[in-house]
Homo-oligomer: A and B are copies of this chain.
Amino acid sequence: MTKVGYIGLGIMGSAMAANLLKKGFDLSVWNRTPERAGPLMKRGAVWVDRPADLASCVDVLCLNVTDTPDVESVLFGPGGVAEGARSGLVVLDHSTISPRATRGFAERLARNQVTLLDAPVTGGDVGAREGTLSIMVGGDAGAYESVLPVLKAVGRRITHVGPSGQGQLAKACNQILCALNLLGVCEAMALARKGGLNLSTLLDCTTAGAGGSWALEHLGPRIAAGDMEPGFMIDLITKDLAIVCEEGRLEELPLLGTRLVAELFEAAGRMGHGRAGTQALSRVIEALGRFRFQSDSGEGAGA
């Protein structure tokens, strides 16, 4: 059986690593905060002291950290993957980071006969637990084929989208869609609320039509109910949109809508909603419009 390593045991990584164990993979792990490896070790995962040591003893090494500098540090920092990687290793980076930094990392790793595949995911913590994530993979097609069993253990909709960095680019595009759809939901619901239109009625009569979106269907009701529990956190979409905006700048592409909504997500973070779900964008819209989505009586969707 393929030996798999896992680095980055946050909410997403822990759930995905657990699915690898469930599917019978021989799993070794490393995490910056070792305590987080406990539950996986109880289920058979082996702790390894440094990313370099992990890279020397596995066939496929999964990364799931936060941002571009985190990936760089794990790969090329002291005791990092590049120090110990055996020839032929495939690194599967599930983090959401810069597309062009990814291409640079892939080139550097290739010098050690290591293949980097960018494989960012969507589908949230629920998708990670249930193994139903969507995964957009960029990089060498042969390496992609070789790690498909690993990908299929953690995801359902898996697409090889192009060469190195293109998985990250597809994810960046996906985040633009999520962000602007959600801004539409917030502004539409705000106008409804200000005008006294029942929010449930609005959702009922728009969700199935030409204004429909995943965001409207899944986050609209949460906004109406004042439920700010994170599926995906404000801090993380803010990070992702910073990557998107930087990519747009380097491509000389004005992304007016994306930059606007990125600013609004940042404002939500400054208001203290960084660890709330992305639907807390609604709190910024409320502040701008001096209103609340929930009536004083607490009836979220009330007229």
For the complex, is A272 an interface residue (Cβ under 8 Å from B)? no
**Chain B residues with CB under 8 A of A256:** 187, 260, 264, 288
Of A32-40, A52-60, A62-70, A178-186, the one contacting chain B is A178-186
Contact: B205 with A161, CB < 8 Å? yes
Interface-facing stretch out of A16-24, A73-81, A142-150, A168-176: A168-176
Contact A210–B215 (Cβ < 8 Å): yes
Range class of the A interface residue count: 35 or more
Interface residue from B181, B191, B244 paired with A169 (Cβ < 8 Å): B191
Of the residues B172, B205, B214, B260, contact of A209 by C-beta under 8 Å? B214
CB atoms of A166 and B209 under 8 A apart: no
Q: A135 — nearest CB in chain B belongs to which residue?
A: B205
Contact of A201 among B159, B190, B197, B206 (CB under 8 A): B159
A205 to B122 alpha-carbon distance, docked (Å):
10
User: In whole Å, how far is A229's beta carbon from the nearest beta carbon of chain B?
Assistant: 16
The chain B residue with its CB closest to the CB of A158 is B205
Asked if residues A179 and B170 are in contact (CB atoms below 8 Å), the reply is no
Which of A4-12, A42-50, A109-117, A247-255 has 4 or more CB atoms under 8 Å from chain B? A247-255
A188 part of interface (Cβ distance < 8 Å): yes
Copies of the chain in the assembly: 2
Give A244 to B211 CA distance when docked, in angstroms: 15
CA distance A100 to B181 in the complex (A): 27
State whether A195 touches B258 (Cβ < 8 A). no
Contact A210 B123 (CB under 8 A): yes
- Would you give the 0/1 interface string for A126-140, flagging 1 where the beta carbon is closer than 8 Å to chain B? 000000001010000
Nearest chain B CB to A157 CB, angstrom units: 7
Q: With a CB–CB cut-off of 8 A, which chain B residues contact A214?
A: 209-213
Q: Are A169 and B184 in contact (CB under 8 A)?
A: no
Q: Mark A196-236, 1 if CB is under 8 A from B, else 0.
A: 11100110111011111111101000000000000010000
Q: Which of A187, A214, A215 counts the most B-chain CB atoms under 10 A from its CB?
A: A187
Determine which of B172, B176, B247, B303 lies in contact with A184 in the assembled complex, contact meaning CB atoms within 8 Å.
B176
Q: Say whether A290 faces chain B, with CB atoms less than 8 Å apart.
A: yes
Asked if A257 is an interface residue, CB under 8 A from chain B, the answer is: yes
Contact indicator A161/B216 (Cβ below 8 Å) = no
A170 and B183 contact, CB distance less than 8 A:
no
**Is B303 a contact of A162 with CB atoms below 8 Å?**
yes
Known: A173-B192, A174-B211, A190-B255. 9 other contacts (CB 8 A): A123-B209, A157-B208, A162-B201, A174-B205, A174-B206, A180-B187, A191-B255, A210-B215, A210-B218
